[in-house]
Structure 1
């Protein structure tokens, strides 16, 4: 094999380039803090790192979902709190209206306040998340869900948007308005009591369900005559009856009713299953009651019965909103738990990635020093050899 001067120089240059490349790689590792700069450095480790990177990216997406849900649920909770406070004012007005000292003028003022509160409640129900999406529209959240100055209509649906917040958990980011504001019932939520144009002064004092197993949801008529009472069902069959004294409890089908005042002969009260009545209509009903005449004792008794039922409905509406708010609070707690769980898993993933990619700085610094020393020695040797030829060795 022939060895020429150019071959010796090329070999020396090749060695210098390899040492320079190794040095540059070590410098890059120290600059980035990463041992792996390409898949070729550790194919198996690089594949594992890719999988861990994908897991980390997924945790990031989960966090985005958590932030979105937390924002929307926080806003919903605020709306529900404001709505409960609004209903508390509605109840206070109902109590004021039930005061016999109110004049027609003051009742009119209170009725107007009720109408204003009802419009305020509609605006609460149309709250959005600041991103153009309505909180209570279900999956149809691009348009305001509630509309109407009379009967309120609902443009949303009954769906909930579920956001994936961990690998195994989803959380609804809001509640459909149909479940929050519409699916309520009048009376005490089980049955209602209403009076006709009675001539006596008997007004409803209390209406309680004492045995749900006996209540059949039917329609019944309670009538008074000659100091007695009688309860008949929709088929006109007598289900209860007897002598009546003011203030006594009348019991039938698992219900207990009591009245103040004295009924006149022929006075009637109708008892039936509670019907669906949305929250807006409940406030409208209270405003209607405020406009009922109260000039006579009989009229005031009729207002008392209607007001009793309206107050029960408002109380149930407040309890319903409180229940929805509690459920929102549970979901917010679930988001905190999911965030903590994802954070712990992300820490483990980062630790695994560091094991694969992480750089041992002490080893790398020692290696850099050795490579610099070796490169400098090689450069000095090359500089001396570069000006020589084989003839110099043959002399």
Structure 2
């Protein structure tokens, strides 16, 4: 009987201790507001809450990365806007440079202004964001992507970045733009072919920029238009300079020349202006690629040209510069539009990621947070149960056989 009584007391004490521990645990849950504080509290909920937390961390990292990219794109878009304004200022100066009353001093003044604008354009192309990353370096590779090598033995502006453009992802945006595609890939001439006056020309002949009249008839060959005085009559002959024998074009041999006339061959046409001299030549070549900085520098060189036929050369060069400048401006506007599109996409991604973060926080809270009303109610119930158990134990503990004798 003594052993049985001791067993009963031990079991009761153990039960009281367990209830006290449960009450303390419930009190801790109320204090922290967490129903699941360790995996053993609810293994399934703890696992799902950890998964939600990991996804929430990735979402928050994506938001930080997106914000950085948006900041860089905003600065790039601002730089492209400035570049467009500089190109427009160059165009305005070129229009004024066409004034036939300007002398060497006026043209030199315009040339110096163009040089200053060219330097500003290079500065814009080398802009960096707040982190020191170049905005127009493409895929990277150089701290200064655009290097001006103009001068004796130089080759103009050189792109030292890595060509290419990072694509926008499901939750990310590119942080840099491909400056090579924006400023270094300007089509020459009219975009299909370019016209060059002969360096040894002594007459005043010049041409329009030309146009394509039949795309299917283009051959991609080089052509030469030569002028000759035959028996007092000025004639021109168009020769395909790419063929092995440099064959004259049918119907374009020994044709009498008239100022302002338009000639057409192999799907391309151009207007001839001015008065050529015997032996003058004009070259027509397939259009390649140039850069906006060389376009401006060509205009500067033309304004400073003092050769015998400088008037014709200058008029031709300025007309070509205007055409190429407009093509370069179009590329800047295209890049600016793309940057604006990405910024709009960034706004949508920001909203999407914010909503996703709220959903994940809600899910995590549902899995591990405590319902305070229910928690306090359970605490009070457990507290009452413990108090009742303590009182009953005290009453039972006082019972003894000796008290009955």
TM-score, normalized by length of structure 1? 0.87
| Matching of residues 1-395 of structure 1 within 5 Å | 2-3=2-3, 11-140=11-140, 143-150=143-150, 151-161=156-166, 165-166=170-171, 171-196=173-198, 197-225=200-228, 226-234=233-241, 235=243, 236-239=246-249, 240-241=251-252, 242-293=255-306, 298-381=309-392, 388=398, 390=400, 394=404
Please tell me whether the aligned partners of residues 204 and 304 of structure 1 are also in contact (alpha carbons under 8 angstroms): no
* C-alpha separation in 2, matches of 1:393 and 1:64: 77
Bigger shift: residues 299-308 or 366-375:
366-375
Comparing 262-271 with 306-315, which one deviates more in the overlay? 262-271
Gaps of 5+ in 2: 151-155
| Runs of at least 5 residues in structure 1 that lack an aligned partner in the other structure | none
> Please, which moves more after superposition, 99-108 or 367-376?
367-376
Q: CA 1:40 to 1:269, structure 2 compared with 1: closer, same or farther past 3 Å?
A: same
RMSD: 2.8
Structure 1 residue 281: deviation in Å? 1.6
Q: 1:393 to 1:342 in 2, by over 3 A?
A: farther
The whole-number CA distance in structure 2 between the counterparts of 1:392 and 1:43 is 52
Distance 1:351 1:393 in 2: 62
Q: Secondary structure at the match of 1:213?
A: helix
Deviation at 1:243, TM superposition (A): 4.3
**1:172-200 CA distance string (max 9 Å, x none):** 32123322222223222321111124344
DSSP 3-state at the match of 2:216: coil
Deviation string, structure 1 residues 289-341 (Cα, Å, up to 9, x no partner):
110138x7x53222111111111111111111111112222222232333333
- Matching residue of 2:153: none
Is the 8 Å Cα contact of residues 142 and 160 (structure 2) preserved in structure 1?
Answer: no
Partners of 1:80 and 1:390 lie apart in 2 by 97
Change (3 A) 1:275 1:162: closer
1:248-278 CA distance string (max 9 Å, x none) = 3222222221244343444321111123322
Q: Which one is further off, 171-180 or 8-17?
A: 8-17
Distance 1:392 1:185 in 2: 116
Deviation at 1:28, TM superposition (A): 3.2
How many pairs does the alignment contain?
Answer: 389
- More displaced, 189-198 or 300-309? 189-198
Measured after TM superposition, the shift of residue 146 of structure 1 is 2.1
Distance 1:16-1:319 versus aligned 2 partners, 3 A rule: same
Q: 1:6 to 1:134 in 2, by over 3 A?
A: farther
